[in-house]
Amino acid sequence: MEEVLLEKILVYGTVLILCMITVFFYLRRKNKKTVETVKKVAIAKEEGLFEPVSLYPYIDLNACIGSGACITACPEKDILGIVDGIATVINTSNCIGHGACFHACPVEAISLRIGTEKRGVDLPHVSEDYETNIKGMYIAGELGGMGLIKNSVEQGQQAMKRIAKNKKPSKENVLDVVIIGAGPAGISATLAAKEYGLTAITLEQDSLGGTVYTFPRSKIVMTAPMDLPLYGKVKLYDTSKDELLQLWKKVIAEHDLEIIEHTKVQSIVPAADETFKITTNTGEEYQCNQVLLSIGRRGTPRKLGVPGEDTQKVAYRLLEPELISNKKIVVIGGGDSAIESALLLKDENEVILSYRKDKFSRLKPKNREKIEEAMANISIKVVYNSNLVSINERSILLKTDLDELEVENDLVYIFAGGELPTSFLQNAGIEITKRHGHIMKKH
């Protein structure tokens, strides 16, 4: 009897010790993760990457159980982490709104939001059916807050489905719909319009290449395939911008879509007969029953207003960098677009990067690493605390804290962000509201 009791004590004791060891290592691992995440958050705050700049995950701390499913599901690095058993955001400004964390959370503790208490974001009024406060005028894609390619493609298709449902009787010289913008939402909507048998044209202020190259990532990453109307499933797992551009061109050619490039819409005016009159910078006018706006939030590239900025040597986007060689180039700006462009140009050209601040902030980790390496090996010269004063035929003038610096050069690339199309939308009658922590619903 005593032997049996002793055996039970030994067994229970062993189990207890094993449990204690397991708990010890679990808590040790948990504490290690917490320390690592806290350090990453501190670095993110120092580098200006902690605060969101667009769509981002908002975590309900009372609901989160710290499963880590959101971290596993996110295809980006160090957007989320765990501190004391609860999820937290880290490099929030690097989030591009995949929504994978939102879907992966087992207790629905994550919502996708735009704008914070400190930093509001201007958003147009858009209903569940993508219709604005102006009847017959719709918005899909980045302008409405959902900038991810897959989301934009889905919205373009769904918005066109609603437009087709509200199709009006045909009139001579009146199109069923005019689509403004040939990004992911615009291309998807153009395909859907053809699928639904609508008369439509698509107007793009830039080129197809221009719309693709303004995407915020050098690589297009998706967690699931997207469906393009008339085309089928498209998988973009680690796809370059060039590959995406070729896909766009292939789709347009195969389905004979009418996309008019380098045509900027100047105004949209509702007519008395419930149609819309659209005027463009080329002098062309179009009349249509319904309008779909699928333009980006950045709208028109921001200009600096310096003398000589209107010359041919100045550009605001970098297209086909592989065709540019043996040039003296000045890149103006300190964001990811400026850094990525300078890096693409440095191997075949002499590149100087001018930035108005004393250090870079809000850069993607890889871009920061690469620009520091380029500065170290002097393949790119960076001039901090400098502002562009004027652009001349063979040189530019930079003003620094100490003096003015004349730099001989052939090309100037300016990356000063973009001007939100707020006034354009308001002139069309669309209501704009500043949103703080607005929950975005995935249609």
CA distance 87 to 48: 20
Pairing of strands 200-203, 259-260: parallel
Beta bridge partners, 123, equal 433
Same domain, 239 and 345: no
Q: Which amino acid is at 440?
A: M
> Using one digit for the tens of pLDDT, what is the confidence trace for 108-121?
989 888 777 777 77
Position 180 scores a pLDDT of 94
Pairing of strands 219-220, 86-89: unpaired
CA distance 151 to 232: 16
Chain center to CA of 62: 30
| Average pLDDT for 209-231 | 65
For every residue of 95-118, DSSP letters joined together read -----HHHHH-TT--EEEEE--SS
Question: What global pTM score does this model have?
Answer: 0.68
Nearest to 334 by CA among 289, 376, 371, 374: 371
Residue where the block lists tokens 């699931």: 224
Beta bridge partners, 398, equal 388, 405
Q: Which domain holds residue 159?
A: 122-299+421-439
Question: Backbone phi, then psi, for 292, in 5-degree steps?
Answer: -120, 120
Same domain, 19 and 146: no
Confidence of residue 27 (pLDDT cuts 50, 70, 90): low
∠184-428-282 over CA atoms, to 5°? Answer: 70
Total domains in the fold of the chain: 3
Q: Is residue 308 included in any domain, yes or no?
A: no
Nearest to 288 by CA among 264, 270, 261: 270
> Using one digit for the tens of pLDDT, what is the confidence trace for 126-183?
888 889 999 999 998 877 655 567 778 888 999 999 999 999 988 889 999 999 998 8
342 has pLDDT over 90 = yes
Among 151-160, 174-183, 235-244, 356-365, which stretch is predicted with the lowest mean pLDDT?
A: 235-244
138 or 54, greater pLDDT: 138
> Using one digit for the tens of pLDDT, what is the confidence trace for 287-303?
999 999 988 766 667 88
Beta bridge partners, 175, equal 288
Please report, for the domain that includes residue 397, its CATH number. Answer: 3.50.50.60
CA distance 333 to 355: 5
Domain end, chosen from 114, 139, 155, is at 114
Position 167 scores a pLDDT of 92
Percentage of the chain modeled with pLDDT above 70: 85
Same domain, 366 and 388: yes
Same domain, 87 and 172: no
Q: Which amino acid is at 59?
A: I
Q: Is residue 245 included in any domain, yes or no?
A: yes
Position 374 scores a pLDDT of 93
Please report, for the domain that includes residue 25, its CATH number. Answer: 3.30.70.20
217 has pLDDT over 60 = no
Position 265 scores a pLDDT of 92
Nearest to 327 by CA among 439, 244, 407: 407
Same domain, 161 and 273: yes
Same domain, 202 and 74: no
Same domain, 276 and 224: yes
Q: Is residue 340 included in any domain, yes or no?
A: yes
Domain end, chosen from 58, 79, 114, is at 114
**65-74: Cβ within 8 A, 24+ apart:** 65/106, 65/107, 65/109, 67/105, 67/106, 67/107, 69/104, 69/105, 69/106, 70/100, 70/101, 70/104, 70/105, 70/110, 71/101, 72/104, 73/100, 73/101, 73/103, 73/104, 73/223, 74/98, 74/100, 74/101
Same domain, 86 and 129: no
